Amino acid sequence: MKLERISLSREMFDEARETGISFKEILEREAKKQGKFSEDLAAKGMDAFAQQLAAYDLKLSGAHASLVEDFFKTNDSRLLFVETINEFVRLGMQEQLESFASLQDIVATRTGIVGSVYQGAEVDLDTSNATAFRVGERGSFPKVTINFKDKAITLYKIGYQIEGTYEAIRRMRTNVFGTAMKVIGRNLAQSKIAVAIDVLINGDGNGNPIQSINAQQSGVLTYSDIVNLEESFEDFAPNILISDTSMRVAYRNLPEYKDANGPTMMDAPKKCKVVPSGCIIALDNRAALEEVYEKGASLVEYDKIITQQIENAVVSEVCGFAKLFTNASKMLVV
Residues 30/16, Cβ–Cβ less than 8 Å: no
Alpha-carbon span 328 to 323, nearest angstrom? 9
Residue 325 lies in a domain: no
Q: Kindly state the helix (H) or strand (E) to which residue 304 belongs, with its residue range.
A: helix 302-306
- Residue 141's pLDDT is what? 63
Does pLDDT of 279 surpass 90? yes
Total domain count, the chain: 1
Those residues whose C-beta lies under 8 Å from the C-beta of residue 276, and which sit 6 or more positions away, are 201, 244
Higher pLDDT, 253 or 18: 253
Residue 178 lies in a domain: yes
Residue 175 lies in a domain: yes
Alpha-carbon span 288 to 285, nearest angstrom? 5
Does pLDDT of 17 surpass 90? no
The string of pLDDT tens digits covering residues 57-104 is 999 998 899 999 999 999 899 999 999 999 999 999 998 888 999 999
State the DSSP code for 169: H
Q: Which band of pLDDT confidence, cut at 50, 70 and 90, is reported for residue 149?
A: low
- Residue 265's pLDDT is what? 94
Among 96, 20, 83, which residue's Cα sits nearest to residue 56?
83
Among 207, 213, 196, which residue's Cα sits nearest to residue 279?
213
Range of the domain at 175: 11-97+155-200+299-318
Q: Which band of pLDDT confidence, cut at 50, 70 and 90, is reported for residue 231?
A: very high
Alpha-carbon span 87 to 53, nearest angstrom? 12
- Residue 128's pLDDT is what? 44
Residue 70 lies in a domain: yes
Q: Which band of pLDDT confidence, cut at 50, 70 and 90, is reported for residue 245?
A: very high
Average pLDDT (220-243) is 96
State the DSSP code for 14: H
Does pLDDT of 143 surpass 80? no
Q: What is the pTM of this model?
A: 0.83
Does pLDDT of 137 surpass 70? no
Alpha-carbon span 134 to 267, nearest angstrom? 37
Q: Considering Cα of 112, then 49, then 74, then 78, what sign does the dihedral take?
A: positive
Residue 30 lies in a domain: yes
Residue 66 lies in a domain: yes
CA angle 179, 80, 104 (to 5 degrees): 50
Average pLDDT (104-132) is 73
Residue 248 lies in a domain: no
Does pLDDT of 317 surpass 80? yes
- Residue 146's pLDDT is what? 66
Q: Which band of pLDDT confidence, cut at 50, 70 and 90, is reported for residue 129?
A: very low
Amino acid residing at 74: T
